Amino acid sequence: MIGIDSKTNAIPVCIPFRNNWRIAFVFFVTLLFLCSSSFGKEKELNYLKNGVSFSLPGDWKTISDEGLPGKGFYYSAERTGKNATGLYTLVTINNEENPIKSLMVQEKNMQDESLYKDSGIQFTAIENNRFGNMDAKSVRYESLVKGIKVSGTIYCFNCAEKTYLLFFQTGTDDIKKNTKAFKLIELTFACR
């Protein structure tokens, strides 16, 4: 039994008990830090198919991933959530084509598509650009889609004897969230 010190009326403190609390406190703080850092990271979806790899944020979902018989591949994903407008599309053509001509064909296809045709889609001039570490051609556009003002960029380049067209489209209200996703795709994109 622990007695009270008669001179100070204090209960003696056991030093090992105090050290146990320090160890427990340090352990708890470390555990809290490790858990919070893993919860703070957003999950990513990794795509590796048809000679292409890239990552998408976890709040995006694939809406199409299919072969184009005798021509190449088509992949499309969109950001999920209320009022989300992010759209990413990848078209892989199985041979090398002139990027400027490919962009001009895409401009014509979009102008003729009913989704964009009625709203008067407008394109900038095709320009030299970079996508990741690759030289590319690009064109920007603006339009109204289902009453929402959207802007987009289309990149085109050749890599590993194929032609790649990448479409990035966002509404003006959530451009910041979508731009972050587009940067992730660009930083992780590889073709072989």
pLDDT in tens, 118-137: 788 999 999 999 999 999 99
Does residue 89 surpass a pLDDT of 80?
yes
Sign of CA dihedral 117, 122, 125, 130: negative
The predicted structure's pLDDT at residue 57: 97
Q: 167: closest CA among 114, 53, 66, 89?
A: 89
For the chain, what's the residue count?
192
pLDDT tens, position by position, 62-85: 999 999 999 999 999 999 999 899
User: CA 83 from chain center: how many Å?
Assistant: 17
**What residue ranges define each of the domains in the chain, with the CATH number in brackets?**
1-41 (no CATH), 44-191 (3.40.1000.10)
Phi, psi of 59 (to 5 degrees): -90, 15
99: number of Cβ within 10 Å? 21
HSE at residue 76, side-chain half, CA atoms within 13 A, is 9
User: Average pLDDT of the chain?
Assistant: 85
Residue 136 and residue 78 in contact, taking contact as beta carbons nearer than 8 Å: no
pTM: 0.78
